[in-house]
Amino acid sequence: MLSLIRAVIGRDLRLAMRRQADIVAAMFFFIIVVSLFPLGVGPEPDQLRRLAPGVLWVAALLATMLSLPRLFADDHRDGTLEQLALVPQPLALIVLGKVIAHWLVAGLPLVLLAPVLGIQFDLAGDALAVLTLSLLIGTPALSGIGAIGAALTLGVRGGGVLLSLLVLPLYIPVLIFGAGAVDATVTGLGAQAHLSLLGALALGGVFFAPWPTAAALRVALE
Amino acid sequence: MSNKLINWFRYASPQTFYPLAGRMIPWFWGLAAIFGVAGLGIGFLLAPTDAQQGEGYRIIFLHVPASWMSMFIYLVMAFWAATGLAFNTRLSGMMASALAPTGALFAFLSLWTGALWGKPMWGTWWVWDARLTSELILLFLYIGFIALQAAIDDPRRADKAGAILALVGVVNIPIIYFSVKWWNTLHQGASVSLTKAPSMAAMMLWGMLLCALACWMYSIAVALMRVRVIMLERERHTDWVRALLAGRE
């Protein structure tokens, strides 16, 4: 079973590496959205410091969502997905592999970019560290929950907009605890509680989400 | 073989459920009207004026039932969704999609009346209170469900996709609710509190409960009417619908 997951991850990563432009585009989307906020609300450092956690997290949500349609769409188009659904192992395991690969390609770059962007918002060192840590813990949940939406909207008219309608409300808890962790550090409350809850969400999301995703894929393949 | 079992499955088929629903609808409309008149009568004529809020509180007779129904309908919808997935019955998916617009309507009404109530009492249309925020997210979930079903042309696939979404949503509702609640309490306390006076005059409570029953009966009646239309639309290729429509002309 582990070898299956590893094979799926390896395959998806290899495919993503052949198409690096997609990854880079999502990263620059993240950077641009974050950079728009100071232009919109003004450059006062105090205000920016207060806004930073929310802005970075919302941008991370949007950037993750941007890359979600590709999670299954390409495999669906060329028929690979149907072959994968015929594999004797549970489809959920394959989905898990794809979710992990998606996180490595779409989530991890955001985590690595976040400290740099946080500096733009004049965040202090400990807040930067917590921001990065919260993104590191939280983005797997985004990939997991997002996979459900991606599977549900597979091959559906206006899939991209629909995907955001379905997935963004489900992202709210992750956003709350992720941005809350940074907020709590800034105000001196300590981020422990938020990060623990975020970890719980991520574990729950990555563990449970593949099952409804697999069910939704089977519906889409009918 | 018990009779009951046969009856249950008998009405799982659109063909037999269609006339049954038609017979039930007037009853539920009647009940809705009776409960509505009684509840509003008590609410507007008999219930005392609130000591603090004056006459303005009377919007509670719509606001609270609407909030209750918006949450309850989502649960019912998820129940039908689960039934549809488990037993692969056509009618369950139709029921779920028939309920969704009514649920969204009640969620919207709850937010709208809440804003109208909040303005005179708290001096603001909207606060980011846990309950308001989670009601708003519930409305988003309804919208997502309706949009997903509308985007998929094949009704069977739409039912199943919608069912999965409804179940995912129902698992998420407590998580969302508590996260919003904790988020709210971790921030500075809300400037206005939603907690009502603990003791409510008996007449107010009665009025509210009767109005809630009226909304409940209304929801059933409207959902049945909608499910009848959905049945006709989806089963239009079948003989019984053709016969029915031919008999009507």
Share of chain B above pLDDT 70, in %: 88
How far apart CA B97 and CA B226 sit, in angstroms, is 9
pTM of the model: 0.86
What residues of chain B, 54 to 113, have a C-beta less than 8 Å from chain A?
Answer: 85
| Residues constituting chain A | 222
pLDDT per residue of chain A (222 residues) written in tens, 0 to 9:
788 889 999 999 999 888 888 889 989 999 999 999 989 988 888 888 888 889 999 999 999 998 898 889 888 888 888 888 888 888 999 999 999 999 999 999 999 999 999 988 888 888 899 999 999 999 999 999 999 999 999 888 877 889 998 999 999 889 988 988 888 888 877 788 889 989 999 999 899 999 999 999 998 888
DSSP structural state of residue A105: I
> Which among B112, B119, B122 is positioned nearest to B193, based on CA atoms?
B122
Q: B146 and B100 in contact (C-beta within 8 Å)?
A: yes
Exposed/middle/buried for residue B13 (C-beta within 10 Å: 0-12, 13-18, 19+): middle
How far apart CA A55 and CA A36 sit, in angstroms, is 10
Cα distances from B70 to residues A100, A213, A221, B209, in angstroms, run: 36, 26, 33, 15
The domain locations on chain A are 2-221
Distance from CA of B222 to the nearest CA of A (A): 25
How far apart CA B69 and CA A167 sit, in angstroms, is 24
Predicted pLDDT at B6 = 57
Spell out the alpha helix ranges (H) of A42-102. 45-67, 70-77, 80-85, 91-102
Pick out chain B residues at pLDDT < 50: 1-2, 188-193, 198
ipTM: 0.86
Q: A115 and A132 in contact (C-beta within 8 Å)?
A: yes
Query: Of the candidates B164, B167, B179, which has its C-beta nearest A177's C-beta?
Result: B179
DSSP structural state of residue A103: I
Contact criterion met (CB < 8 Å) for A176 and B168: no
Q: Which residues of A touch B (CB under 8 A)?
A: 148, 152-153, 156-159, 162, 165-166, 168-170, 172-173, 176-177, 180, 184, 189, 197, 201, 212, 215-216, 219-220, 222
Q: CB of B143 within 8 Å of any CB in chain A?
A: yes
Predicted pLDDT at B198 = 46
Distance from CA of B59 to the nearest CA of A (A): 28
Q: What are the b/e assignments for B115-141, b being 16+ CB within 10 Å?
A: eebbeebbeeeebebbbbbbbbbbbbb
Contact criterion met (CB < 8 Å) for B179 and A169: no
Predicted pLDDT at B176 = 80
Contact criterion met (CB < 8 Å) for B148 and A180: no
Query: Of the candidates B164, B179, B186, which has its C-beta nearest A212's C-beta?
Result: B164
Query: Of the candidates B161, B175, B182, which has its C-beta nearest A152's C-beta?
Result: B161
